[in-house]
Structure 1
Amino acid sequence: MHHGMFPLDDALVRRLVAARFPRWAGLPVRRWPSGGTVNAMYRLGEDMVVRLPLVRSGAKDVALEHRWLPRLASLLPTAVPEVLGAGEPAEGYPWPWSVYRWLPGEPPRAGDLRAPVALAEDLAGFVTAMRSVTLPDAPKAHRGGPLAALDAETRSAIEQLRGIPEEGVDCDAVTAVWEHALRAPVWAGPPVWLHADLMPGNLLVDRDRLSAVLDFGCVGAGDPACDLFPAWNLLPPRARAVFRAALDVDDATWVRGRGRTLSQALIALPYYRETNSAMAANARHVIRSVLAEDQR
């Protein structure tokens, strides 16, 4: 998927675990299929998972999770990863890594939700709890700044998609939605705590309800519009309306949230269309959802 990806395999992960955590040496290690883009996941026995950055840019997220996950866990209504061990570079592997407790559940799939309204309510509860966090010294959330900071990359992605007609993206229509979002008033309130990466692959559902939220590598404070992603990357229209009402989102924040979600999808589609089918499929879903809802 990326330049500079480290070539991980089961044997290397087994050696890393044995050297750093001898008490877990001998437990089965097997690669877990994941649509993630910057980390590899390996089941360790039945109750744990090893998460290792695939690229250098993912390494900084390890320390962020180690610091904040234990502080956030008791403040949130949904399970989050529990850090069981902090790994270090070794055996030729160059970055820190983590061992977490395994969390049951399956990632939800857009278009295949059996109880979308209940899931929307659960997601709104999680986002509300994040916004209510008052822990001091919050880092700046990834994607938590002004929408205009995404303009150049978003427009570049749109031009790439003009050159890929088989994707069928109405580039004039998405440009209009993007420019409408840029004209929305910026967030004038204090920054709020955000997960900042509420993609379907970072959620787990058990018996149709939200059971866990994963991957806090983008966590921090910023514009509350950043945590509206599920409205378009996962929820159908009726559940989307429930999500918005539960969060009491004003028009400007909703427009910024839609713009951010669209921007992420436009950038992801040309980048991942041949290397990560899950990311590409969700990007296509977002573009369709945003254009269907567009109320400029």
Structure 2
Amino acid sequence: MHPGQLEIPLATVRALIAEQFPRWRDLPVRRVPGQGTVNAIFRVGDDLAARFPLEAREPAAARRWLEAEAAAARELLGVTRFRTPEPVALGEPGAGYPLPWAVQTWLPGVVATDEDPGESAGFAGDLAEFVAGLRAVATGGRVFTGGGRGGDLTTHHAWVETCLRESERLLDVPRLRAAWTALRTLPRAAPDVMNHGDLIPGNVLVSGGRLAGVLDVGGFGPADPALDLVAAWHLLEDGPRRVLRERLGCGDLEWERGRAWAFVQAIGLVWYYLDTNPVMSELGRRTLDRVLARSA
């Protein structure tokens, strides 16, 4: 999926666990199939998950990233009634793998990629409760400082233009460009609140059409209040989307900025993952269709 992507054989994972965490030496280790783009996931026994960064980087930078993710995950623990992973350990490079890696608790449930909750009003209500719970956490004076989604929409214009050029034979680019022209200048009207930052189907666990838990919580931090509204277009059909909006009390400007952030994320998925991760590419298409429909 990425230039220079690291290969992580099962044998390497077993060797690292046996050497660095001998108390888990005899636990079964198995690769978790999925469409994740940042980490390779391996289940260790029944209760643990080992996460290995896929993209090569300096080990010190990878360690800072993993430590920041763990700190964010600890801050989020118990904030809502929905389960989130708990950091357990940080592994070291070895056995041919060049970076630090992380171990966290395993959560039960099925990712929304495999069990689509899009028609469930109950799931939409749960999702609104989760987002509201995150927003209620004090920022402690922190503000958005990252280079990704969650700050100023206009800073993403160059990336969106790149994506539009790459999508000429894949999507209705004139229609998308017209939508982006309107979305990218939407003004910011509210201060930062705490957000998950990446509420896509692969990061959401479902059980019986309801929200069972949320994964990949290392991005928990301050950002545009509209950022987590991307879930409305990534995860929900019209009726449940209205439920989410009503439960969160979103005004028109905040809701439109949520559409804008969903657009920014989705426009990069279609072409970038077209051949390497078809599920993510199709997610981008579906989200863009929902964003353009503007029916809720």
Choose which of 161, 166, 170 in structure 2 pairs with 1:160: 166
| Aligned 1:49-198 pairs, distance under 5 A | 49-56=49-56, 59=62, 60-109=64-113, 112-113=116-117, 116-134=120-138, 136=140, 138=142, 140=144, 142-162=148-168, 164=169, 167=170, 169-186=171-188, 188-198=189-199
Note the alpha carbon deviations across 1:3-53, whole angstroms, 9 max, x for none: 121110111001111111110012111111011001000111122111111
Structure 1 runs (4+) greater than 6 angstroms displaced: none
Q: Is the 8 A contact 2:40 2:52 kept in 1?
A: yes
Q: Is the 8 A contact 1:124 1:243 kept in 2?
A: yes
- Counterpart residue identity of residue 183, structure 1: T
**How far did 1:204 drift?**
0.2
Q: Distance in 2 between matches of 1:281 and 1:86?
A: 33
Change over 3 Å in CA distance of 1:248–1:114 after alignment to 2: closer
Q: Is the 8 A contact 2:72 2:218 kept in 1?
A: no
**How far did 1:110 drift?**
8.9
- Counterpart residue identity of residue 85, structure 1: A
Which residue number in structure 2 is paired with residue 10 of structure 1?
10
Aligned residues between the structures? 290
SS class of match (2:41) = strand
Note the alpha carbon deviations across 1:38-78, whole angstroms, 9 max, x for none: 10001111221111111136935421221121222121221
Q: Distance in 1 between matches of 2:166 and 2:133?
A: 38
Q: Distance in 1 between matches of 2:207 and 2:185?
A: 39
Q: Distance in 1 between matches of 2:5 and 2:113?
A: 27
Structure 1 residues without counterparts, runs of 5 or longer = none
Which residue number in structure 2 is paired with residue 244 of structure 1?
245
Which residue number in structure 2 is paired with residue 204 of structure 1?
205
Q: Is the 8 A contact 1:177 1:294 kept in 2?
A: no
Q: Distance in 2 between matches of 1:129 and 1:292?
A: 29
SS class of match (2:181) = helix
Q: Is the 8 A contact 2:205 2:211 kept in 1?
A: yes
Q: Is the 8 A contact 1:110 1:235 kept in 2?
A: no
**How far did 1:222 drift?**
1.2
Which residue number in structure 2 is paired with residue 225 of structure 1?
226
Structure 2 residues without counterparts, runs of 5 or longer = none
Give the fraction of aligned pairs with identical amino acids, expressed as a percent.
39
**How far did 1:268 drift?**
1.3
Note the alpha carbon deviations across 1:198-252, whole angstroms, 9 max, x for none: 0110000112111111102322111011101111111000111110111111111
- Counterpart residue identity of residue 162, structure 2: S
Q: Distance in 2 between matches of 1:184 and 1:192?
A: 18
- Counterpart residue identity of residue 149, structure 2: R
Which residue number in structure 2 is paired with residue 33 of structure 1?
33
Change over 3 Å in CA distance of 1:123–1:161 after alignment to 2: same
SS class of match (1:178) = helix
- TM value normalised by structure 2: 0.92
- Counterpart residue identity of residue 9, structure 1: P
Q: Is the 8 A contact 1:117 1:242 kept in 2?
A: yes
